[in-house]
Chains A and B, each alone.
Chain A
């Protein structure tokens, strides 16, 4: 299959998937038992108004519904919402009627991208050599140490690491690195570590398995037999071949990290998209909640597409199939 055709097919299936998700999410949130009015700080003020001046309250509700098109039939709302989202016209959130969601995204999304991409890249940089080490010294103490550590990293989710780090640097060694906020380089250290640990585990474990597998191949034996020295053998024939398989693990890892970013941002109070998103969900702010799910999912899908493409480019045996 040609590469252009592959990309077009993938984009079409991406659009279909995301449209269905948008429509279902909108419907589910629309028919949820809670509404924006019953669950926010706004609602507590409005609650009083409801008894003090029912007329004004009704007027406010009508205004609000007109503003967000909530008086239209539901199919109209769903279709226009999906279309607007697909054309990146997100409108305003319930909570911030004057600030477009796009403006909020412009401030918060770069932070989330920085955190998630940064920690994946860092994890690859650290995890690859560790995986090679574990594979080359297979069944030694260093291998079992690394394997155990990578298992621990994989088992414990990012928010538990984040909590433990807050405990360490907030209580045991206070003042070494900041434990919340965002802005300076130092602020990024703990969140990145919390996100990284699991990914390093994944990369190490996968690289180990992949390198052991390629060192077992016949061409390695042939190369060894014709006298290729040890390190060139490992580098040229072993590692380079297992790197192509390594690429496939980046996709799931990134998806995992995006979710982790949402958690870690909440714990370290970083003003990224994850914090925005959790606030929106807690307050039943339908437009902002679904938009943040949309943007984060789009990020994951985009990276997965890139991963599949680069896999095919790196390994000519791989056939692109959408």
Chain B
């Protein structure tokens, strides 16, 4: 439902990504945790800002672009259907999908007003880290949002999140699959729909 890094951390990471070949970058639990820490600080800032919906969506889009592994997220969401896509279609899908995600989840930010995310810890998995956070909303029982972080792209980025156990990326793959079915498998039509959806 959400995502974000301070400008300084982001720049540092950017420099690191350029300075080192991707393979040489070994993600540590501390880095994974810091990524999510700065991410949730940015989210908390947006939630607190009380800005209008359109501004929140724009803020979210920027956060998503900087903290999420957008290539992975798009490739996963398109799933097996992506294999037949041309390079231009992949590119266009990726752009449309990431904007769609920002719009869809950015809109929910309104419901989070006055709330905050808190990082709970970090757990190592095979080749990525899970960073559990707890979300406190006014007058609600707190709930769990877990971010999955890897340095697959050469720097720490989150590539999925679970909201109370629900795999959001799998949910989006399901949604994209259904949208594509509705269009008889036509990827260009799907991309056009995506630009209007969310």
Question: Does B bind A?
Answer: no
Interface residues of B (CB under 8 A from A): none
A-side interface residues toward B, CB under 8 Å? Answer: none
